[in-house]
Amino acid sequence: KDISARRVKRWGFSLQELVQDPIGREQFVKFLEMEYSSENL
């Protein structure tokens, strides 16, 4: 998946921007799983 830099930059403004975006939420879940933090969801 090719994610635009503009989209990623928007996620940096707030966690709400990240979790409201379906792709952002998917990427965040992947990050949490890598960090063994998926139980925090």
The two tokens of residue 38 are: 């998926």
- Contact of 32 with 41, CB cutoff 8 Å: yes
What does the pLDDT read at residue 13? 93
The two tokens of residue 9 are: 């930059």
What does the pLDDT read at residue 35? 78
> Which is nearest to 31 in space by CA: 1, 9, 40, 17?
40
Q: Containing H/E element for 23?
A: helix 22-34
Structural domain boundaries of the chain?
Answer: 5-40
> Which is nearest to 41 in space by CA: 30, 26, 29?
29
Ranges assigned E (strand) in 1-41: none
pLDDT digits (tens, 9 = 90+) for 1-41: 688 999 999 999 999 999 999 999 999 988 888 877 656 55
